[in-house]
Amino acid sequence: MKVAVVGATGLVGTKMLQVLAERNFPVTELYPVASEKSIGKKVKFKDKEYEVVSWQTAIEKRPDVALFSAGGSTSKELAPKFAEAGIVVIDNSSAWRMEPNIALVVPEVNANVLSKDTKIIANPNCSTIQMVVVLKPLHDKYKIKRVVVSTYQSVTGTGVKAVDQLMDERKGVEGAKAYPHPIDMNLIPHIDVFLENDYTKEEMKMVNETKKIMGDDSIRVTATTVRVPVMGGHSESVNIEFENDFDVAEVRELLSNAPGVVVYDDVKNLKYPMPLLAHDKDDTFVGRIRRDESQANTLNCWIVSDNLRKGAATNAIQIAEYLMAHKLVGNEEIAAV
């Protein structure tokens, strides 16, 4: 597979290169793409250095897949150019997610929407990805009516500038700010911009993307998203109301058998998911599984995943793996490997 990584020098782009190597994705040729000022710089992949090229050069090389993590405006401009050249784009920005004819995919949930004609595929929001991986088997069994979610999101979700702000504040030095308030020793209940309904864009992403990925507009979702001074992963407190009653032991069994999910739940031994546990792993961890005693047919749980991996890079590469395994991209000889 010939692969382009657009935004290869950023936090997620760097993680994409790492995950491609770790998962032994069959990269035969690699084209790292970044902004004009980065052209000519080197990035490392599998102990070899590759020169960053322009998007024009990458298109000329006709990769099979282009993994995009370069921001919404760049994606809006460049993804159609790659697609017109017959290159499958898997985009990590929010640019295409809610477009009616664009597939929004979490492989464990809805990879079946992909076909050979799919040319632009949207990678969902990091917080949505880890939640729907857990919701899917429960929805199939008990039918979800409503989800109430509060998130505790890592500064890595904002990017290098936010990580630097946290570290600068921790050291007591002045530096560039990614947030309108201090983040060290603080929580900021504000991710992305505020909308007219007083929810943030991040909160409404979780509402709208969940319905699209799950393929069910009847699921009601409400979200509060919070930035916390943490690195390693996003955490979520999730309250799920079902149409049908459930047995907690059966819920644990369903989740234990769900692809990409690890049940880590033993309160007697103080075992529950935390960002430190999820850091640099591809799984989504779920714990604190318990019945909501205030309302019928309702479950509480705690979900944690590495936002740069399953929440971004890994999910995109799993989409590429699915395309390859089902011969929806690349030549059939490679796809059969």
Task: In whole angstroms, give the CA distance from residue 297 to residue 274.
Answer: 26
Task: In whole angstroms, give the CA distance from residue 199 to residue 207.
Answer: 11
Answer yes or no: is pLDDT of 276 > 80: yes
- For domain 2-95+312-335, give the CATH number: 3.40.50.720
Terminal Cα-to-Cα distance of the chain (whole angstroms): 11
> Domain 127-306 belongs to what architecture?
2-Layer Sandwich (3.30)
pLDDT (tens digit, 9 = 90+) per residue, 48-106? 999 999 999 999 999 999 999 998 999 999 999 999 999 999 999 999 999 999 999 99
Helix, coil or strand: residue 268: helix
Task: Give whole-number Cα distances, 245 to 143, 146, 254, 303, in Å.
Answer: 10, 14, 14, 21
Answer yes or no: 234 catalytic: yes
Confidence at residue 308, expressed as pLDDT on a 0 to 100 scale: 95
Task: In whole angstroms, give the CA distance from residue 133 to residue 317.
Answer: 16
Q: Which of 139, 234, 279, 301 is catalytic?
A: 234
Answer yes or no: is pLDDT of 335 > 70: no
Confidence at residue 330, expressed as pLDDT on a 0 to 100 scale: 72
CA 166 to chain centre: 22
Q: Which of 229, 249, 82 is nearest to 155 (CA)?
A: 229
- Residue pair 287/270 in contact (Cβ under 8 Å)? The answer is no
- Residue pair 120/91 in contact (Cβ under 8 Å)? The answer is yes
Q: Which amino acid is at 136?
A: K
Q: Which of 126, 139, 279, 301 is catalytic?
A: 126
pLDDT (tens digit, 9 = 90+) per residue, 9-42? 998 999 999 999 999 999 999 999 999 999 999 9
pLDDT (tens digit, 9 = 90+) per residue, 235-265? 999 999 999 999 999 999 999 999 999 999 9
Answer yes or no: 301 catalytic: no
CA 38 to chain centre: 25
Q: Return the domain boundaries, the chain.
A: 2-95+312-335, 127-306
Q: Report pTM.
A: 0.94
Residue showing tokens 């998130």 = 151
Cα dihedral 68→180→193→156 (10° resolution) = 30
Dihedral sign from CA coordinates of 208, 212, 213, 214: positive
